[in-house]
Amino acid sequence: MVHRAVCLAIFLSIATAQQSPVGYTDTPILPGQKWRVHDIDRPRPPNVTPGPEAGKPPSDAIVLFDGRDLSQWTSDKGGAPGWKVEADYMEVAGGAGSLLSKLRFGSAQIHIEWATPDEIKGSSQARGNSGVLIMSRYEIQILDSYNNVTYADGQASAIYGQWPPLVNASREPGAWQTYDIVFEAPQFDGQKLIKPAYVTVFHNGVLTHHHQEIMGAVVHRDVAKYQPHEAAEPLMLQDHNAKVRYRNIWIRRL
């Protein structure tokens, strides 16, 4: 009898789950929205197939570098990029200029993997320096910050010159590191800023900025400020004369 009772309970549970409604039409309206709680008519999110491994591009990502060539990039000096492509990575060629993506982006999710040189040369800002410049002007700093003291708002994962990261999650020189960035583009009405940019950053899977307001375009030794620009601009990878390597770069428009 006990066995039959258990089986009946399981059957009734499954039957109830199978008959569960997919939504409601008689629930309250959510504040600030046009939808009801559990609204049956609310559009479902589109399906996106995640990458087969952590860090691999999902099905709707735009791949900017897959280890093969620089066809998605140009030089900020004009013409073809002069960086070296070897194995599955590209490497900064000092003096060749920064890279600009041919495609332009506004608000976006960005994944980038990078490595500073394994041979330690210099100190502070002269050690593995590069940068990810979103919209070509809002910089997330790249630096060898493993046992390397520098100013806090200039270390790896800093919003350069504005906000230090919440923590230093740097790996040792030569090790591959990751940035996962969620960027909200600023909005302008003519010459007037009506909404600043915001950024969330994970460095090697560790949260280093949580919806942090950006003060303006990157500048050295001065206070950042905004200048109006287009709603979509290229992604830039900085040439700072250090042989920093990049691989597995992809982006999703938001």
In whole angstroms, what is the distance from residue 142 CA to residue 242 CA?
10
Segment 97-102 shows an average pLDDT of 97
More confident residue, 39 or 67: 67
Segment 208-235 shows an average pLDDT of 95
pLDDT at 35 over 90: no
Token digits for 231? 């709603």
Segment 122-136 shows an average pLDDT of 94
66 CB-near residues (< 8 Å, 6+ apart)? 248
pLDDT range class, residue 8, cuts 50, 70, 90: low
pLDDT range class, residue 15, cuts 50, 70, 90: very low
Q: DSSP assignment, residue 6? A: H
Token digits for 129? 């320096």
Task: Tell me what pLDDT residue 165 has.
Answer: 94
What are the boundaries of each domain within the chain?
A: 1-42, 45-253
pLDDT range class, residue 44, cuts 50, 70, 90: confident
Token digits for 54? 């952590």
In whole angstroms, what is the distance from residue 138 CA to residue 218 CA?
6
Lowest mean pLDDT among 31-45, 123-137, 179-193, 231-245: 31-45
pLDDT range class, residue 83, cuts 50, 70, 90: very high
pLDDT range class, residue 9, cuts 50, 70, 90: low
- In words, the CATH class of domain 45-253 is mainly beta
Q: How far is CA 28 from the centre of its chain?
A: 36
Task: Tell me what pLDDT residue 6 has.
Answer: 54
Residues 247 and 65: beta-carbon distance below 8 Å: yes
105 CB-near residues (< 8 Å, 6+ apart)? 134, 135, 232, 233, 234, 235, 251, 253
H or E element, residue 202: strand 198-203
- Alpha carbon separation from 239 to 41, 86, 142, 212, 242 (Å, rounded): 50, 17, 11, 25, 7
Q: Give the number of other CB atoms < 10 A from CB of residue 212.
A: 17
